[in-house]
Structure 1
């Protein structure tokens, strides 16, 4: 697969659980972003290129309300976000200072950002929900970001939820959280994921028919043969 639109449409049909399994088979174990939980139930599975933002620990001369007017600020970063991206915010797992509130999320939604993913927390939760921007985070806190964090830059490598994220890596989010697919292998991984989903759907049907798991999951040669035969049926 090479066309980004077709890749993303295919990934929307693939669970993050399947993606982690495929990446594990390719030697990548640390791809699930810890602490990234859906803010609301039933948020849709989404796919997008990572737009990264990075916070460091608060320093009193820098983490001030006045910093919000700086060119290097979360406000400036939001204005640089392209439509369709997924904003990935490295908040170092800090949970007592909300990185974004309703106004910033509303602006992201207006700019066509697909989702916000962070290992930190948000504030003004009712307002954030009201913007319609899907959010994956680690909870909520009333204090603003400068109470515990200093914003330093965007579109550089970050560590979100203990995972290395580079700008334009592909992010997939669903009910299980957020997963990164390195941008260099996204086409290959997507093709493998689609086939894995197809196989697991067949296995689930076999389970429903009472077939025991040994030799079925994972499939042995006989099961693989039956699976391949099922794919050729009209």
Structure 2
């Protein structure tokens, strides 16, 4: 995978909120996936390359239990997932049919997939939680995927939560949800996001000291001088 360990480590140390701010400054406003939320509150922050899955609305001749044995199936897609990837499933926002359950989640965990992110829902909640696979989704539902969706392919561009995601894009997810980092902007985010985090941490310390917000957030010229002095002393 193109995303090396150093990049993963750097991105795991910054929040999705910071990443959206850095990308906003580059003109990208639509990078936060609407719908996916952490399935459990104590899930770790995850970072990985997107491995995309695409569903379309169910059609009765295609969306059948027999389709699970097809060469083009969620089962086959899971076997193609590389270690460390984040599976991003475009479920069209359908919330009446769970795209994956405990068995599929367990297999993903066994294959060292980092996480699953979807604008759809899961089923077999207790079993999925027991697998330990980090999941960001839009809830739970008992019916299987074929009750509302047809799986059509993997590793092609998808729209998940209203956001375009391409195979190989970088996904970061935490308590605020999931964001996509376009691969060509990865180096920019790696360079800018840690500084954004450091600056905001310093601002939080100033707030704790009782400093008023005007001139502090955003910084005026005087505050910038104080911040640069702080950075120089911290080196």
Q: How many residues align?
A: 233
Question: 1:51-91: per-residue Cα shift (whole Å, max 9, x none)?
Answer: 00000000011000000000000000000000000000000
Q: 1:98-137 to 2 correspondence within 5 Å?
A: 98-137=98-137
Deviation at 1:23, TM superposition (A): 0.6
Q: Which runs of 5+ in 1 are unaligned?
A: none
CA displacement 1:168-195 (0-9 Å, x = unmatched):
1000000000000001110111211111
1:76 aligns to what? 76
Equivalent residue, structure 1, for 2:200: 200
Question: What does residue 141 of structure 1 align with?
Answer: 141
Unaligned runs of 5+ in 2: none
1: distance between equivalents of 2:35 and 2:190? 24
Partner of 1:25: 25
**Whole-angstrom CA distance in 1 between matches of 2:67 and 2:61:** 9
**Separation in 2 of the partners of 1:82 and 1:4?**
14
Instruction: Tell me the secondary structure at the aligned position of residue 216 of structure 2.
Output: coil
SS in 2 for 1:180: strand
Aligned partner of 2:165 in structure 1 is 165
Contact kept in structure 1, 2:3 and 2:48, CA below 8 Å: no
Match of 1:227 in 2: 227
For the residues of structure 2 that align with 1:8 and 1:198, how far apart are their CA atoms?
18
Matched position secondary structure for 1:214 = coil
- 1:219 deviates by 0.5
Aligned to 1:215: 215
**What is the CA deviation profile of residues 112-164 of structure 1, one whole-angstrom value per residue up to 9, with x for unaligned ones?**
00000000000000000001100000000000000000000000000000000
SS of residue paired to 2:159: strand
What secondary structure, in the 3-state scheme, does the structure 2 residue paired with 1:233 have? helix
What's the secondary structure of 1:33's corresponding residue? coil
Shift of 1:5: 1.7
Q: Which runs of 4+ in 1 moved over 3 A?
A: none
Structure 1 length as normaliser, TM-score? Answer: 0.98
Superposed CA RMSD in Å reads: 1.0
Aligned counterpart, 1:191:
191
Contact 2:43 2:174 (C-alpha < 8 Å) held by counterparts:
yes
